[in-house]
């Protein structure tokens, strides 16, 4: 471990393998995975369809280059376009890269409109990644501190305040786009209001701004629909995603429609690995499996079950202040800070996360069964009661 730059405060456990919703450590202990590697392993661990695709594709071709045609990349783009209201797609290797592509689209859009210093509205509490542009877009000083000068061209707004967006529209002619997560993840699992997002959509249309949604965490079935916006009654211009798309192979995607889909031309953007044959064939399998195993409706059902159990068991204690989230993206805000719960959960054989100091965050695999969801919820409820 000492040869690693200490960018993570790691828990004292190392996993050797997994199966379904369970992970096994090097001592052979079993853990119920309530986090899915932060919303990545929607299909759990060692899913046979994913493993088969990795093997078969590795036998054929892992990497060629974006200098040539890549059949699985074209198929994946077609599939994503079919599932959304988008028209085309750029592939990178991570969520941050997907957002970098979106930020570059917004800047091109601005320059095409004669705006010399185009700016993007971003929200308080947002998380968009750790590259310089995406950490500048992120609404968390801790993530930015020490890395100044930040990338300019971002305007911060409070969440769920449509009036603030109208004010910016009236006063800042440099703004060309809006970027937000439909449910803020790292910021503490805060869903944005439907009315708010619909109002922002309307303002974006009136102003000719790109409405861009960061669905890196909310996408790929996590909230009960392919993308969270599909349950909100409007269509954005740009959608980014990553995490659950690859079930653990590195892939990120930036999808666009309308004017936004016509911005990038040859030489505007690129990535050596982005969308290689291996990751794209795995992502195609992930999408087919989510569809064929009805995992989106499972996410909705199991999310409701977990909420109900945790509520029921902790109600009389008064410790649970608020439950937030959608589908299997859940935040349970307690009446006190509870960072110690992560280590206690580990002792109890559960993998959970705590964000914003006082919010227990659960992101279990989309294929979690009723009995596994019950086991997870009972375990978390006990941990909350034992605080
Ligand atoms: C995780 C996350 C990112 C960053 O993704 P990386 O793959 O770590 O670069 C960006 N946006 C959101 C909403 C995320 O949850």
**Per-residue confidence (pLDDT) for residue 71, from 0 to 100:** 98
Judging by DSSP bridges, how do beta strands 210-214 and 350-351 pair with one another?
unpaired
Q: What residues does each domain of the chain span? A: 15-33+294-385, 49-292
Per-residue pLDDT at 334 exceeds 90 = yes
Residue 187 CB less than 6 A away from ligand 1 = no
**Per-residue confidence (pLDDT) for residue 173, from 0 to 100:** 98
The average pLDDT across 101-119 equals: 98
pLDDT 10s digits, 61-100: 999 999 999 999 999 999 999 999 999 999 999 999 999 9
The average pLDDT across 115-132 equals: 98
Residue 215 CB less than 6 A away from ligand 1 = no
Residue 284 CB less than 6 A away from ligand 1 = no
The average pLDDT across 359-379 equals: 98
The average pLDDT across 322-341 equals: 97
Residue 217 CB less than 6 A away from ligand 1 = yes
CA of 313 relative to ligand 1 center, distance in Å: 32
214 catalytic per annotation: yes
Which atom in ligand 1 lies closest to the alpha carbon of residue 126?
13
Q: Which fold has domain 15-33+294-385?
A: 3.90.1150
CA of 171 relative to ligand 1 center, distance in Å: 31
**Per-residue confidence (pLDDT) for residue 229, from 0 to 100:** 98
Q: 154, 178, 214, 264: which one is catalytic?
A: 214
**Per-residue confidence (pLDDT) for residue 280, from 0 to 100:** 98
pLDDT 10s digits, 350-365: 999 999 899 999 999 9
Per-residue pLDDT at 1 exceeds 70 = no
pLDDT 10s digits, 215-234: 999 999 999 999 999 999 99
The average pLDDT across 183-190 equals: 96
The average pLDDT across 184-199 equals: 97
Percent of residues, the chain, with pLDDT higher than 70: 100
CA of 11 relative to ligand 1 center, distance in Å: 21
127 catalytic per annotation: yes
Which atom in ligand 1 lies closest to the alpha carbon of residue 243?
7
CA of 38 relative to ligand 1 center, distance in Å: 9
Percent of residues, the chain, with pLDDT higher than 90: 99
Q: What is the CATH number of domain 49-292?
A: 3.40.640.10
**Per-residue confidence (pLDDT) for residue 65, from 0 to 100:** 97
Q: pLDDT tier at 2 (50, 70, 90 boundaries)?
A: confident
- Show binding-site residues: 95-96, 127, 130, 214-217, 271-272
């Amino acid at each position: 471990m000492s040869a690693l730059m200490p960018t993570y405060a790691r828990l004292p456990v190392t996993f050797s393998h997994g199966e379904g919703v369970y992970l096994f450590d090097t001592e052979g202990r079993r853990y119920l995975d309530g986090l899915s590697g932060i919303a990545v392993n929607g299909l759990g661990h060692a899913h046979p369809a994913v493993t088969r695709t990795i093997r078969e594709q590795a036998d054929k071709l892992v990497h060629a280059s974006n200098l040539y045609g890549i059949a699985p990349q074209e198929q994946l783009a077609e599939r994503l376009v079919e599932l959304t209201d988008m028209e085309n797609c750029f592939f990178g290797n991570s969520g941050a890269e997907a957002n970098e592509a979106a930020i570059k689209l917004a800047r091109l859009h601005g320059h095409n409109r004669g705006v010399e210093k185009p700016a993007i509205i971003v929200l308080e509490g947002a998380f968009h990644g750790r590259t310089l542009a995406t950490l500048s877009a992120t609404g968390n000083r801790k993530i930015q501190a020490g890395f100044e000068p930040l990338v300019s061209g971002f305007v911060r707004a409070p969440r769920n305040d449509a009036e603030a967006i109208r004010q910016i529209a009236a006063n800042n002619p440099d703004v060309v786009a809006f970027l937000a997560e439909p449910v803020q993840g790292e910021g503490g699992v805060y869903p944005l209001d439907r009315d708010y997002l619909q109002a922002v959509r309307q303002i974006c249309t009136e102003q000719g701004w790109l409405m861009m949604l960061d669905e890196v965490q909310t996408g790929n079935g996590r909230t009960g629909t392919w993308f969270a916006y599909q349950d909100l009654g409007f269509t954005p211009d740009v959608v980014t995603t990553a995490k659950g798309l690859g079930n653990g192979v590195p892939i990120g995607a930036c999808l666009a429609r309308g004017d936004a889909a016509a911005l990038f031309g040859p030489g505007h953007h690129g990535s050596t690995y982005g969308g290689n044959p291996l990751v794209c064939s795995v992502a195609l399998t992930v999408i087919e499996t989510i569809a064929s195993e009805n995992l989106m409706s499972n996410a909705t059902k199991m999310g409701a079950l977990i909420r109900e159990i945790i509520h029921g068991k902790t109600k009389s204690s008064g410790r649970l202040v608020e439950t937030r989230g959608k589908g299997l993206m859940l935040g349970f805000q307690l009446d006190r800070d509870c960072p110690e719960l992560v280590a206690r959960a580990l002792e109890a054989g559960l993998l959970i996360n705590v964000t914003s100091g006082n919010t227990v965050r659960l992101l279990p695999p989309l294929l979690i069964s009723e009995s596994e969801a019950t086991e997870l919820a009972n375990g978390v409820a006990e941990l909350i009661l034992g605080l």
